[in-house]
Structure 1
Amino acid sequence: MARRSGGGPGTRIASVADFESWAARQSPAELAEPFTYVVGADGLLCLAPRRSEHVACAGGAAVLGAGEITFVREAGQWAASEVGNQSTGYCPDVTSWPAVARALDGIPLRRPAAFTHEVVFRRCPACAEHNIVREGDFVCVFCGSDLPKAWNVEVDDVGRSAHP
Structure 2
Amino acid sequence: MQQVLATENRIAKLFQFSERKVRDYFKAARISPGKYDLLQVIEIFVEKNLGKDETAELKRADKDLKEYKLQILKKEYHHESDVVRIVSNMNYNFKSKLMAIPSKISVQLLNKNNQLEIEDILKKAVINVLEELVDYKYEESEFGEDEDTGETYNKID
Question: Which category of TM-score, normalised to the shorter sequence, fits these structures?
Answer: under 0.3
Q: TM-score, normalised by structure 2?
A: 0.19
Provide the TM-score with structure 1 as the length reference.
0.19
User: Which of structures 1 and 2 has the larger relative contact order (alpha carbons within 8 angstroms, sep 6+)?
Assistant: 1
Would you tell me which structure has more helix in proportion to its own residues? Answer: 2
| Structure with the greater alpha carbon radius of gyration | 2
